[in-house]
Structure 1
Amino acid sequence: LLDLFKDVFSWLPMYSYVKTGTTRIIIIHGGISDRIDLTTINSLRRNRYVSVEVPPKSEHGGARLTAEEKNEYHQVEDLLWSDPDPKGLNGSRKNDSRNIGCFFGSDITDQFLEKNNFSMLIRSHQIKENGYEFAHHRKVITVFSASNYERGFNSGAILRWSYNEDEPQIIQHKLRGAQDMQSLSFAKQVTLLADPVYQSLIEKIMAKKSSLQKEFYKADRNRSGIQIANAFLLNIIFVFL
C-alpha cells in the first residue's frame, strides 16, 4: 500500500499553470530560486524523484550524480521547499529555517515571471493566519487551505478565479471549534468503516498488535503516552508494510 502511494506521488507534476483569459498563472507547492529553469523541469524523468530527502541514483551508473543531475535535483528541491524571503531581501539565498530550498526575493519573482510569461505565482507550503497572504507586490500569493492546522487558530482559504478577471476571489473558511472537528471526525469514521481498504488495514494492525505495542513502549520510555502517536506513524511502516 505504501509503495502504491509512493508510485502515485512520484508521477504528480512539479508545477501546473492556468490561463484565465487575461492572466497566466503558475502554481507551485513551494517556490522558486534563481536557478529554476522550466525547460529542465519539463524534461526531467519525474518518477525518479520519489523523495527529495534522498537524491535519485545516477542514470549513468556511477556512485555520484553528475553536475547536470545535481543541478536538476537542486531545482526540484527549490520548487518544493522554497519560501518568499521573510526579511524582504532581494536575490536568492539558503533557506536556513528549513535547511533545504531557498528564500527568494521580489526581484527573483519578477525575473522568473517575465522570463516564463506568467503574471502571478500561486503557492502553499506555509501556514497563514488568514489562510492566504500576498507578497512581492501581489505577484505571489500563499494559499493554505487547512483551517485550525495542528490544533491552531488559522483560517483556511481557497481561490476562485473567474475567466477574464485580473485577480482571484479569496474564500476563507474556518471550523468553529472542537465540537465541529469531533463531528467531522465521527463522519469520517463512519465512512471509513465501510471501506474495504480500511478494513484490510485494521486486520493487518491487529495481526501485528504485539509487535506494534512492543515498538510503542520502546519509543515511549517515560511512559507519558506522548510519543505513542509518533511511534505509530514511524513503526507501523517498518513492522508490516
Structure 2
Amino acid sequence: MATTASAPAPMDVVVTEADQKQADKLKDEGNAAFKDGKWQLAIEKYSAAIDLNPTLAPYFANRAFANIKAENYGYAIADATKAIALDSQFVKAYYRRATANMALGRFKDSLKDLQAVVKVAPNDKDAQTKMRECEKIVKRIAFEKAIAADDKKPCIDMAEVNDLSIDNSYDGPHLPEQITSEFVLAMIERFKQEKRLDRKYAYKILLLVKDYLMKVPSLVECELSKTTQKFTICGDVHGQFYDLMNIFEKNGLPSEDNPYLFNGDFVDRGSFSLEVILTLFAFKLLYPNHFFLNRGNHETDNMNKVYGFDGEVKAKYSDRMVTLFHEVFLWLPLAHVVAEKVLVVHGGLFSDDNVTLADIKATERNREPPDSGIMCEILWSDPQPQLGRGVSKRGVGVHFGPDVTRNFLERNNLSYIVRSHEVKDLGYEVAHNGKCITVFSAPNYCDQMGNKGAFITLGPSLEPNFTTFDAVPHPNVKPMAYASGGMGMF
C-alpha cells in the first residue's frame, strides 16, 4: 500500500458515493490510530483513503502529519506538497511542510512555508508568531556562520580551561590528571541524583576526547575482548540516561574485558542528553581501545538546534559549551569494523555500488554532513525489502535493498552490517537475509512509542545475540524539554 504522495489525480477522476463513504471511514480510522500514537497504522489508513479518492487535500495533509510523527520527513514533504497542489489555500498543508523541513534542518524552506501561511491567513496570530521565531533561527544561523568564517580557532583550549576555578558550592568528584574508574563512577552517581559536573571538568573531558578523536581515522577497526571474546553493540540512546544505566546494569560496565560500541544518536530528543554524552566520553577516555563511538545523524549542528541538545547544554552550562560539543562531534568516526567482518554504521549503505571500506576510511569527516555522498548516506540511509534502491522516506540518504547489501558485503569481504537509526518494536530487526541488522537502544522512545530497547553481543563466531529490555523510570522531565524554537514551535 502506498505511503508516499500519489501521482497527480486526473482531472476527470470519478469518485463514487460508495467510495467516498469508505474513504471517509478510513480517514476516521486513521485519525483514531493517530490519536493512539500508532503512526504506521494511521499512514496505512490514510493511504487507503487516498487510493479511493486522491483529490482531497486533507487526506494528504493528514498522512503528512503521520509521516512527520514517524520521522518520514521526505514522505511528509511530498504529501504536503501534493495537498498544496490540490488546494493552494489549505493552511495545514503549509504547516506540515514547514514542520518537516524544520525537522531536517532546512530552516529557510520552513520559513517560506510559514510566510505562505501568513499570506493565506494574515489574521492567524499563531502563524505570525511561528514565522517570527523561524526568522530568528535563520538570522541566528547566518550570524553564527559569519562568525565561524571569521574565526577558525577552537572555542576554548586546555590552557584556558586549566585557569578556570571550581565553583565554591561544588561538592562532586574531582577529575584527576588521568581519568580513573573511581571518578567516572562517582560522576555517574552524581548524574543519577540530577546534579551537574563542574564546568571545568566537563570542558576537560570534551577537550581530551577531541584530542583523541582527531588522531583516529573515519573508519576504525576493533576486536573482541582477548579474554572474554565478547563485544557489545548498542544503537540509539537519544538522551535516555536512565535507560543507558539499565544497559550497563544488565550487561556490565565497560572495561577491557567488556568492550562496547555505541552506534550514534547519543543526544537529542531525550532530556538527559548531557549526562549520556559525558558518560560515554568519560568511558572513551578510560578505555580508549575498548570503548567505541560512531557518529549519528544527531551528532550534527542542525539536528542539535532542533531536537533539544543545544538548549539543554545552554540551560545546564553555556553557549560556549555548545560550540565545543559541536567541535568534538565533527571528529567522531563514521564507521567501525569488528573482527574484520562486521561493519557498523549509524544509517546504512550507499547510492554508489563501488564504495569500499578504503573509501569510507578516506572520507573527510571534520565537517557537517553534506546533502549527498558517503558521509551523508552513512548517517541517513535505511534498508528496504525491495531490490535496488529507492527514494528515502527521510528526504536525505537512500533506501537500499538486499541486493545492494549483498554486493557491498561481497566487494568488501564482510559478513554483515549492523546499523541503527530506526525505532523497532523489539529493539532490533534482522533483514536482508540476515545480512542487515538494525539495533535501537532507546526503549519507549520519547516516552510514547512503547518499543523495547535492545543491544547485540558478539562472541567468537560473530553470531549476533540480542538482549531486549523495557524502559525504566526517569525523573519527571519530558523529552524535548529543552527544545526552544525549532520543532518546539509546532
Aligned twin of 2:387: 90
1:166–1:38: structure 2 CA closer, same or farther, 3 Å change rule?
closer
1:85-113 deviation digits (Å, cap 9, x = unpaired): 1xx21112221x11100000000000000
- In 1, are the aligned partners of 2:365 and 2:375 still within 8 Å (CA)? no
Counterparts of 1:25 and 1:232, CA distance in 2:
39
Highest CA radius of gyration, 1 or 2? 2
Aligned twin of 2:363: 44
- What pairs up with 1:91-170 in 2 under 5 angstroms? 91-95=388-392, 97-151=393-447, 152-162=449-459, 164-170=460-466
Counterparts of 1:10 and 1:79, CA distance in 2:
14
Secondary structure of the corresponding residue to residue 417 of structure 2 = strand
1:231–1:117: structure 2 CA closer, same or farther, 3 Å change rule?
closer
Identity percentage over the alignment? 36
Secondary structure of the corresponding residue to residue 484 of structure 2 = helix
Secondary structure of the corresponding residue to residue 390 of structure 2 = strand
1:13-44 deviation digits (Å, cap 9, x = unpaired): 1110101xxx7100000000241343332223
> Which letter does structure 2 place at the counterpart of 1:76?
M
Counterparts of 1:29 and 1:37, CA distance in 2:
17
Aligned twin of 1:12: 332
Is the counterpart of residue 185 in structure 1 residue 481 in structure 2? no
Aligned twin of 2:85: none
> Which letter does structure 1 place at the counterpart of 2:484?
F
1:233–1:9: structure 2 CA closer, same or farther, 3 Å change rule?
farther
Counterparts of 1:233 and 1:117, CA distance in 2:
46
Secondary structure of the corresponding residue to residue 27 of structure 1 = strand
> Which letter does structure 2 place at the counterpart of 1:109?
T
Secondary structure of the corresponding residue to residue 373 of structure 2 = helix
1:117–1:234: structure 2 CA closer, same or farther, 3 Å change rule?
same
Counterparts of 2:357 and 2:463, CA distance in 1:
24
Counterparts of 2:482 and 2:329, CA distance in 1:
23
Counterparts of 2:357 and 2:390, CA distance in 1:
19
1:108-151 deviation digits (Å, cap 9, x = unpaired): 00000011111010000000000000000011110000101012
> Which letter does structure 2 place at the counterpart of 1:129?
D
Deviation at 1:3, TM superposition (A): 1.3
Aligned twin of 1:32: 349
Secondary structure of the corresponding residue to residue 141 of structure 1 = strand
> Which letter does structure 2 place at the counterpart of 1:84?
P
- In 2, are the aligned partners of 1:15 and 1:26 still within 8 Å (CA)? yes
Deviation at 1:82, TM superposition (A): 0.6
Secondary structure of the corresponding residue to residue 396 of structure 2 = coil
Deviation at 1:231, TM superposition (A): 5.2
Deviation at 1:77, TM superposition (A): 1.1
- TM-score in terms of structure 1 length: 0.62
1:136-193 deviation digits (Å, cap 9, x = unpaired): 001111000010101221000001111x224121111102xxxx42xx327xx9xxxx
Residue number among 54, 70, 75 corresponding to 2:374 in the alignment = 75
- TM-score in terms of structure 2 length: 0.31
Q: Count matched residues.
A: 163
1:137–1:2: structure 2 CA closer, same or farther, 3 Å change rule?
same
- In 1, are the aligned partners of 2:431 and 2:437 still within 8 Å (CA)? yes
Is the counterpart of residue 2 in structure 1 residue 292 in structure 2? no
- In 2, are the aligned partners of 1:131 and 1:154 still within 8 Å (CA)? yes
Secondary structure of the corresponding residue to residue 375 of structure 2 = helix
Is the counterpart of residue 232 in structure 1 residue 232 in structure 2? no
- In 2, are the aligned partners of 1:90 and 1:106 still within 8 Å (CA)? yes
- In 2, are the aligned partners of 1:33 and 1:92 still within 8 Å (CA)? no
**Which has the larger strand fraction?**
1
- In 2, are the aligned partners of 1:34 and 1:91 still within 8 Å (CA)? no
Counterparts of 2:386 and 2:403, CA distance in 1:
9
1:100–1:118: structure 2 CA closer, same or farther, 3 Å change rule?
same
> Which letter does structure 2 place at the counterpart of 1:139?
K
Counterparts of 2:363 and 2:383, CA distance in 1:
25
- In 2, are the aligned partners of 1:92 and 1:104 still within 8 Å (CA)? yes
Counterparts of 1:41 and 1:166, CA distance in 2:
22
**Which has the larger helix fraction?**
2
Deviation at 1:10, TM superposition (A): 0.6
- In 2, are the aligned partners of 1:133 and 1:142 still within 8 Å (CA)? yes
